Structure 1
Amino acid sequence: MPRLTLALAAFALTVASQTTQAQDTPDGKWHGGLSVSGALASGNSSSKTLAANADASLATAEDKLSLYGIANYGRNKNAGVDTTTADLLRVGGRYDFNLGPQWFSFGGAEGETNKAGGVRDRYSLNGGLGYHLVKDDATNWDIFSGLGYTATRLTDGSEANGAQVLFGEESSHKVSETTTLKQRLVYYPGGGDLGNRATFDAGLATQILGGWTLNAGLASRYSSRVPVGTKKTDNLFTVGFGYKF
Structure 2
Amino acid sequence: MSRLSIAFSAAALAFPSQAALAQDTPDGHWHGGLSVSGALASGNTSSLTLAANADASRATEEDKISLYGIANYGRNKVDGIQTTAADLLRLGGRYDFNYGPRWFAFGGAEGETNESGGVRDRYNLNGGVGYHVVKSDTHSWDVFGGLGYSDTRFTDGSQANGAQVLLGEESSHKVSETTSLRQRFVYYPHGGELDDRATFDAGLATTISGGWTLNAGLSSRYAGRVPAGTKKTDNLLTMGFGYKF
The two structures have a TM-score, normalised by structure 2, of 0.91
> Are 2:127 and 1:127 equivalent residues in the alignment?
yes
> What is residue 172 of structure 1 aligned with on the other side?
172
- Give the CA deviation at 1:232: 0.5
Q: Deviations over 1:152-211 (max 9, x none)?
A: 000000000100000000000100011111000000012232100000000111111222
CA distance in 2, matches of 1:100, 1:68: 26
1:161 aligns with 161
The answer on whether the counterparts of 1:221 and 1:233 sit within 8 Å (CA) in structure 2 is yes
| Number of the residue aligned with 1:200 | 200
For 2:94 and 2:181, the matched residues in 1 are separated by 20
Contact kept? 1:62, 1:98, Cα under 8 Å: yes
The corresponding residue for 2:29 is: 29
- Measured in 2, the distance between the counterparts of 1:117 and 1:218 equals 17
Structure 2: segments with no counterpart, 5+ residues: 5-17
2:19–2:53 Cα contact (<8 Å) kept: no
1:84-120 Cα distance to aligned partner (Å, 9 max, x none): 0000000000000001000000000000000000000
**Contact kept in structure 1, 2:172 and 2:180, CA below 8 Å:** yes
CA contact (8 A) 2:3 2:231 kept: no
* Cα distance between partner residues in 1 of 2:60 and 2:159: 40
Q: Which runs of 5+ in 1 are unaligned?
A: 6-15
- In 1: Cα distance, 2:65 partner to 2:176 partner: 26
The 1:17/1:179 distance shift into structure 2, 3 A limit, reads farther
Report the counterpart of residue 19 of structure 1 in structure 2: 21
| Residue in 1 that maps onto 2:72 | 72
Q: Is the 8 A contact 2:162 2:192 kept in 1?
A: no
CA RMSD of the aligned region, Å?
Answer: 1.8
What's the secondary structure of 1:24's corresponding residue? coil
Match status 1:52 vs 2:52 = yes
AA of the residue aligned to 1:165 = V
**1:243: Cα distance to partner?**
1.5
Kept in 1, the 8 Å contact 2:69–2:89? The answer is yes
Q: Secondary structure at the match of 2:243?
A: strand
Deviation per CA, 1:32-79, whole angstroms, max 9, x where unpaired? 011111100000110000001010000000000000000000000001
- Using the alignment, how far apart are the partners of 1:149 and 1:204 within structure 2? 31
Which one has a larger percent helix, Structure 1 or Structure 2?
Answer: 1
3-state SS, counterpart of residue 21 of structure 2: coil
Give the secondary structure class of the aligned counterpart of 1:182: strand
Is the CA contact 1:183–1:203 (under 8 Å) kept in the aligned structure 2? yes
Q: How many residues align?
A: 232
Please give the alpha-carbon distance, in whole angstroms, between the structure 1 residues aligned to 2:82 and 2:3.
29
2:209 is matched by which residue type in structure 1? Answer: L
Aligned: 1:230 with 2:223: no
> 2:121 & 2:3 partners in 1: Cα distance?
26
**Who is 2:147 aligned against?**
147
Residue of structure 2 equivalent to 1:214: 214
Q: How far 1:235 moved relative to its partner?
A: 0.7
3-state SS of paired residue (1:116): helix
**2-side partners of 1:120 and 1:18: how far apart?**
26
Q: Name the SS for the 1:68 alignment partner.
A: strand
Report the equivalent of 2:96: 96
SS of residue matched to 2:116: helix
| 2:117 aligned partner | 117
Aligned AA for 2:21? T
Amino acid at match of 2:119: V
Confirm or deny: 8 A CA contact 2:75 2:82 kept in the other structure. yes
Q: CA deviation at 1:212?
A: 1.4
- What is the distance in 1 between the residues matched to 2:208 and 2:35? 13
Name the amino acid aligned to 2:115: K
